[in-house]
Amino acid sequence: MNNVFGVYNPVKIHFGRGLIAETGRIAKKYSDSALIATGKNSMQKTGTLDRVTKSLKDAGVKPVVYDKITPNPTIKEIDEAAEIVRKNNIGMIIGLGGGSPLDAAKAIAVAAKDNIPVWNYLKTPADKALPVITIVSTSGTGSEVNRYSVMTNPETGEKPGFGYECMYPKEAVIDPEIMASMPPYVTATTGFDVFVHALEAFTGKAINAFSSAYCMQAFYLLKDNLLKAYNEPDNLDARGNMALASALAGLAIDISGVGIIHALEHPVSGNYPSVAHGAGLAALAVASMKYNLESRKRDFMLIAHHYGIKRAGKSDDEYAASLIEKIKEVLAALKLNITLKYLGVEKDKLAKISKEAFMTMGFAVQNNPAPIDEKEALRLLESSY
Ligand code: NZQ
Ligand code: MN
């Protein structure tokens, strides 16, 4: 546990059923016009987009809808939306949907400030962005409450994350009612993402007293609600608890980062954009957990405890390892006991993926508890194949 650290998170969180109706009142504080960044289908089909635009209009905020954000959003979409914002002099960005539109909203908010491609901000830090409000519809990435944005360069397959202080959303609306429409596969993949955030922040080198508290509460909520939300999609209590777990784990990674599972997953879904982030994590988790077990035995035991696994006479080694067995069971129950091969990854791409993990996700590699080099990362990819 670290004894020297800083903690900062300025996001005002609104949690509760029906709160998307408050969007207009919240947004009005920042501007009279808003670009809504959203995906192509889900928010339209469920009527959520209409409810948000109505709330904005009622409050006197003019909405402009950009509904071309794809899962694993590309720099092309972000630059195109930023251009619309500049041309129309729009004053704020509302991200509506899963992690993809939320990440895109933050990137658009930065890119709209200057007329330069968003990719440049990987190297040149940004210190100004338009105000962002997040309205989250998956419980997953934690993007609703953190400063990170993940974007894909479709020409190279690179999928780095970036996050500057100016990119924190001003306010986050977390309304479990809009999560009930998630189909089982989205519930499963995004829900497993929450577990991996809590796992990697908790076992990572940058863990501290604040992030570990968030992680422990996230594990506790995951234990009772991940499978419940999957098996009972309309159970709003389970949906609400998963939404809380997502936000808590999102705060944890904002403070303490992720590790090798995320470092390897980003180039997987970067090179194969049809792969859901959480599905890539599912394929990589078991091998990576085995790799880290020895260096974080006590942490694994603590997580096993928070995950409700009975100790029942197990030795320390057995108890720590029982977490991995439990996660295998959870993955099977979510129908996510899958491999990279199953996800369509080509074997001859594994070396490229390993290389890119070190190139674009270096901070996550560094944060991994057990030291790892490109060769060992390639072996992890091979055993996840
Ligand atoms: O695209 P639409 O039509 O909106 O449909 C989406 C999409 O097909 C659908 N969906 C979302 N909410 C729904 C719904 N369908 C029905 N009902 C709802 N309520 O689900 C599909 C997946 O959506 P997406 O936003 O892509 O999923 P997710 O929330 O998992 O976000 C993934 C993105 O976030 C990044 C990932 O890399 C990926 O690009 N991440 C962002 C992080 C962050 N900002 O901190 C951390 C994460 O580790 C992650 O890297
Ligand atoms: Mn993730």
Segment 107-135, tens digit of pLDDT:
999 999 998 999 999 999 999 999 999 99
Q: Calculate how far, in angstroms, residue 32's C-alpha sits from the geometric centre of ligand 2.
A: 33
Q: Calculate how far, in angstroms, residue 308's C-alpha sits from the geometric centre of ligand 2.
A: 23
The number of beta carbons lying within 10 Å of the beta carbon of residue 259 is 30
The residue type at 303: I
As a whole number of angstroms, the distance between CA 159 and CA 271 comes to: 8
Q: What is the arithmetic mean of pLDDT over 277-284?
A: 98
Q: What atom in ligand 1 is closest to the CA of residue 262?
A: 48
Q: Is the whole model's pTM more than 0.85, yes or no?
A: yes
Residue 162, ligand 1, Cβ within 6 A: no
Contact 294, 270 (CB under 8 A): no
Contact 96, 52 (CB under 8 A): yes
What is 184-383's CATH superfamily? Answer: Dehydroquinate synthase-like - alpha domain (1.20.1090.10)
Q: Calculate how far, in angstroms, residue 71's C-alpha sits from the geometric centre of ligand 1.
A: 6
As a whole number of angstroms, the distance between CA 142 and CA 136 comes to: 9
Contact 361, 286 (CB under 8 A): no
CA 152 to each of CA 122, 155, 156: distance values in angstroms, whole numbers, following the listed order: 12, 9, 8
Residue 296, ligand 1, Cβ within 6 A: no
Farthest CA pair distance, the chain: 67
Residue 120, ligand 1, Cβ within 6 A: no
As a whole number of angstroms, the distance between CA 257 and CA 363 comes to: 8
Task: Give residue-wise pLDDT tens across range 239-258.
Answer: 999 999 999 999 999 999 99
> 281 pLDDT exceeds 80?
yes
Domain residue limits, the chain: 12-179, 184-383
Q: What is the arithmetic mean of pLDDT over 162-189?
A: 98
pLDDT of residue 135: 99
pLDDT of residue 140: 97
pLDDT of residue 2: 80
CB under 8 Å to 277, separation ≥6 — which residues?
A: 72, 99, 140, 141, 189, 193, 265, 269
Q: What is the arithmetic mean of pLDDT over 60-89?
A: 98
CB under 8 Å to 195, separation ≥6 — which residues?
A: 219, 222, 226, 249, 327, 330
> 1 pLDDT exceeds 80?
no
Tell me which residue of 122, 124, 90 sits closest to 109, measured CA to CA: 90
Average pLDDT taken over every residue of the chain: 97
Nearest CA to ligand 1 atom 32: 99
Contact 65, 36 (CB under 8 A): yes
Q: Calculate how far, in angstroms, residue 98's C-alpha sits from the geometric centre of ligand 1.
A: 4
As a whole number of angstroms, the distance between CA 197 and CA 227 comes to: 17
Pocket test for ligand 1, best of 151, 186, 281 (most atoms within 8 A of CB): 186
The upper half-sphere exposure of residue 105, i.e. CA atoms within 13 Å in the direction of its Cβ, equals: 37
> 3 pLDDT exceeds 90?
no
Q: Give the chain's end-to-end CA distance (angstroms, integer).
A: 33
pLDDT of residue 237: 98
Tell me the CATH number for domain 12-179: 3.40.50.1970
Work out the pLDDT band at 276, boundaries 50, 70, 90: very high
Q: What is the arithmetic mean of pLDDT over 218-234?
A: 98
